[in-house]
Structure 1
C-alpha cells in the first residue's frame, strides 16, 4: 500500500503571512513571517528588525524573544501596559502542556536588533492558523512554565492571513 501524501492544489494557494505591528515597548520593530505549506508540514520564514537589545531590567531578561501563535487574530495595543493582550493566550488546539503547543516556536535571537530564522514544523497546516495572531515577547520562553512559558510582555503582533 502506497502512503497518501499531501499534494496541494497549487503550492501558492497554501501560504500565509503575518506582518508585525510594534508595541510601545519596541517602537522600531518591523518585519514579517511567511508560512509555506510543504508536503510533510509547514516551512516558517521569519525576518525581523528593531528588536530590543539584550539586557536585564527590573529582574527580568529582555531577549532572546519568545515567539508563539496566539488564539485570537486581534492586534490591539490597548492601554499600553499589556500590549496585544487582545490576542489571547497561546494557540493550543490539542490542550497540550506548554512547550508542546503546536504554536510554540523557537526563540528569536537578536543580532544587533535583527533576527532571521527558518524552521519546519509538522504540528499544523497553513489552513489551521489563518486568522490567528503571531506574537513576539520581550523575554525568552522557558518552555516549562504553564500555560505560557513566562516570556513576558508582548512587543509585536501580526495577524496570520492567507497570502
Structure 2
C-alpha cells in the first residue's frame, strides 16, 4: 500500500511549483544547466532538481558528487575571488554550524553528467528562500569542515524566483 505522503508528493510534483530556479554554469561549464523546483507542502518543502552537463570524467573513479546549497545572496553575479561571489555564504538564519545551515542541501549525485534529486525539508519555507541563490560546487560537501563543507569552487548558480 502506498503511503499517503507518497501519494500527496506525487500529486504535488505533477502540479505547478511554488518557486523555481534556472541553473546555469559558470565560465568553465557554459553547457551546465538545469532547474530546481520548490513545492510547499504541509510536511515541508519538496525540492526537485534536474541538472544536465555536470562535469565528469569517464572511468570507475569519476567524481560524480557535487555540493548543493542555498546561499544568502540574491544574485549570481560576481568575479572577485571566485565566480558567483555575489551569492555570498550559505543561507543560515539561525546561526547554526555546518551542516545544520538551513541552506545545506543533500549533495547531487550525477550519472554521466546528469543529476536528478527529490527531497523533503523543513529547514526553510519557500517564503524564506525566494530571491536567494542556489549554488552547485565542483566537489562533494564533507559535512564537517566549517563554515561550508569544503565543497570546492562554485560551478553553477541560479536565483530562486
Q: Provide the TM-score with structure 1 as the length reference.
A: 0.83
Say whether the 8 Å CA contact 1:54–1:64 is kept in structure 2: no
Residue 7 (structure 2) aligns with: none
Match of 1:124 in 2: 124
CA contact (8 A) 1:52 1:110 kept: no
User: What CA distance in whole angstroms lies between the structure 1 residues aligned with 2:63 and 2:29?
Assistant: 11
1:86: Cα distance to partner? Answer: 1.1
Shift of 1:13: 8.8
TM-score, structure 2 normalization = 0.84
Does residue 45 of the first structure (1) align with residue 48 of the second (2)? yes
Q: Does 1:78 align with 2:79?
A: yes
Name the structure where helix makes up a greater proportion of residues: 2
Deviation at 1:121, TM superposition (A): 0.2
Q: Measure the CA separation in 1 of the matches of 2:124 and 2:54.
A: 27
The aligned length equals: 145
Q: Which runs of 5+ in 1 are unaligned?
A: 1-10, 56-60
2:31 pairs with one of 23, 28, 37: 28
User: Structure 1 residue runs of 4+, over 4 Å off?
Assistant: 11-14
Listed as ranges, the gaps of 5+ residues in structure 2 are: 1-11
Q: Work out whether residues 14 and 126 of structure 1, in 8 Å CA contact, stay in contact via their aligned partners in 2.
A: no
RMSD: 2.1
